[in-house]
Amino acid sequence: MECSSVLYSNDAMRRQVSPGTGTVKRIGIVLFGGFALPETAAVVEVFQSVKLLTEGERRDAVRYDVSLLSVTGGRIVSSSSVFVWTEGIDVRRDQERFHALFIAGGAGVNDALRDERLIAWLRRMHPRADLVFPIGEGQLLLDGAGFRLAPTIRRHAVYIDEIMRLGVGNGDGSSAAVASPLQTAIALVEEDFGSEIARQVADWVAPSADTRFTAIVRKNASVGVSENVKASAKWLEANAHRPISIDDAAQIACMSERNFLRRFKIEMGVTPSDYLLYVRLDMSCRLLVETTLPVDKVARHCGIGCGGRLAKLFRKHLATTPTEYRVSKRS
C-alpha cells in the first residue's frame, strides 16, 4: 500500500500564515528525501502559531510566507515515511530574498550532499538571506556549500534569553551560545511581534504546563511505538484543526484501515478517533489559557466546530465549561 497522504503543503501553509496584506517576510525551509520530520515540523509550527495568536490584529502587521522547498519540487518523503509537498528551489527565481532560510537535517543528508544543484543554490542564496540556520545535520549541507561557521542567535532579542535558559528546543536546560532551530524561529517572531507573542508561541510549540490530555498526546514519541503509527499520530495532530477521516491516517501508516485501527489501539492505548479527540481537547485547553480568543473561535480552530459542542466535551471530560477552565487556569 503506497503512502500518498501528506503532512504539510505550500498552499496550505500560505493560506494559514500569509494573508495578502501587511509586510510579508519569506521563510524558506529546504528539504530533501530522508529529511528528519519532527525537528522540521516544530519550526513550521512556530510560524503557523503566529497566525493563530495574532488573528484580528492590525492588517498592516508582519505576515510570514512559509515555503517548503526541494530541488525538484513535488512530493518529498521524510525519514519517517511521511510525504510532504514542496516547491522547486528555482520556481521563484534567485532575485527573491529570504528573511530566514532553514536547512533540514536527517538520514538523507549524505545523498543531498551529492546534489550539485542544491549545493550551488545554497551558495547563491546564502548571501541573500537575512538569516540561514541549519536543523541538525543541515549544517553539513552548509559546510558543503562553503559556510562552515555555525550561526548564533541574535542577542538583541530579549525573550530568547529566557527561552534558552529553559532549554526550549534543546531538551537539556542548557544556555548554550548557539540556539536550536526552534529557539531561532521563536526569536524571529519576537523581533517582529514582541516578547509576549514569543512567549505564547514558545508555550504553544513547547508547552511548559501539561493538560489532562498531554500524556496521551505525547505517547506518539514513546520508544515502544512503531514509526508508522508515530507518523499517523503526528499527522492527526497536524491536521486536527480540519475535518479528516481515519482512512487518511491509515494511509499515512501504510496500512489497511482495519489493521491500522488494531495496531494503533495496541500501541497507543486508545483508538485513532479518541486520540484525535484528545489532541483537539489538548489544543483547546492551551488556546483557552494562552489566548483571548472567544470560545466559539477556539472550537473552530481546534476542529470541534462550535462553542456548544466544545462546552459539551468539556463537561464530559473535565467536568467544567471552557470559560470556567480559562478562569481557573489564569487565577
Give the CATH number of the domain where residue 131 resides. Answer: 3.40.50.880
Give the CATH number of the domain where residue 228 resides. Answer: 1.10.10.60
Query: Is 157 part of a structural domain of the chain?
Result: no
Query: Is 108 part of a structural domain of the chain?
Result: yes
Query: Is 57 part of a structural domain of the chain?
Result: yes
Given a cut of 90, whether residue 199 has pLDDT beyond it is no
Query: Is 185 part of a structural domain of the chain?
Result: no
Query: Is 164 part of a structural domain of the chain?
Result: no
One domain for residues 226 and 320? yes
pLDDT in tens, 250-303: 988 889 999 999 999 998 889 999 999 999 999 899 888 877 889 999 999 889
One domain for residues 15 and 144? yes
One domain for residues 239 and 144? no
Query: Is 255 part of a structural domain of the chain?
Result: yes
One domain for residues 102 and 229? no
One domain for residues 229 and 98? no
Instruction: Enter the pTM of the model.
Output: 0.60
Higher pLDDT, 229 or 162: 229
One domain for residues 138 and 28? yes
One domain for residues 140 and 264? no
Over range 7-28, report the average pLDDT. 60
One domain for residues 144 and 62? yes
The answer to whether 242 and 232 are in contact (CB under 8 A) is: no
One domain for residues 128 and 227? no
Query: Is 156 part of a structural domain of the chain?
Result: no
The domain boundary residue, chosen from 102, 120, 151: 151
Query: Is 130 part of a structural domain of the chain?
Result: yes
One domain for residues 221 and 146? no
The domain boundary residue, chosen from 128, 151, 174: 151
Higher pLDDT, 300 or 214: 300
How many structural domains is the chain composed of? 2
- The parent domain of residue 266 ranges over 214-330
Looking at every residue in the chain, the average pLDDT score rounds to 80
